[in-house]
């Protein structure tokens, strides 16, 4: 199946700094990618839909100025958590569609810890 890769897999940062997470489709082109956030013992919460070459679409309650999404190429979407605070500590997961059957493939996730 298609492979979606995230980097870094984990990151620790100080409060007030910004952190960038990359999501790559390794063997296919993805015009649309999705970003999720997951807190401990909870389900995945969709944050935004990332569209190549255009602005991302954010879910209700997600601050677009806080979570900057850039989808500059058909294989790369980035999520930047700006001015991170401890409450932003979470597991961030991206996903993208494979090119044929409508299956949605997920990255390995990136665990962010803000001190």
Partner 1 sequence: DAKTTQPPSMDCAEGRAANLPCNHSTISGNEYVYWYRQIHSQGPQYIIHGLKNNETNEMASLIITEDRKSSTLILPHATLRDTAVYYCIVRVASHGNKLVFGAGTILRVKS
Q: Which spans of this chain sit near partner 1 (rule: CB under 8 A)? A: 1, 4, 6, 31-32, 34, 36, 43-46, 49, 91, 93, 95, 97, 102-109, 111
Per-residue tokens: 61: 């309650």
Q: What is the nearest approach in angstroms of partner 1 to the Cβ of residue 38? A: 9
Nearer to partner 1 by Cβ, of 14 and 54: the residue is: 54
* Phi and psi at residue 91, to the nearest 5°: -100, 120
Q: What is the nearest approach in angstroms of partner 1 to the Cβ of residue 71? A: 13
75: left (phi over 0), alpha (psi -120 to 50) or beta: alpha
């Amino acid at each position: 199946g298609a492979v979606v890769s995230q980097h870094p897999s984990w990151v620790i940062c100080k409060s007030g700094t910004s952190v960038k997470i990359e999501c790559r489709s390794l063997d296919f082109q993805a015009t649309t990618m999705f970003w999720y956030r997951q807190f401990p013992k909870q389900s995945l919460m969709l944050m935004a839909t990332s569209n190549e070459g255009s602005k991302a679409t954010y879910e209700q309650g997600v601050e677009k100025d806080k979570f900057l999404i850039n989808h500059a190429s058909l294989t790369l979407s980035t999520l930047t958590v700006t001015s991170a605070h401890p409450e932003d500590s979470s597991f961030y997961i991206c996903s993208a569609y494979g090119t044929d059957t409508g299956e949605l493939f997920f990255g390995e996730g990136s665990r962010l810890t803000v001190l």
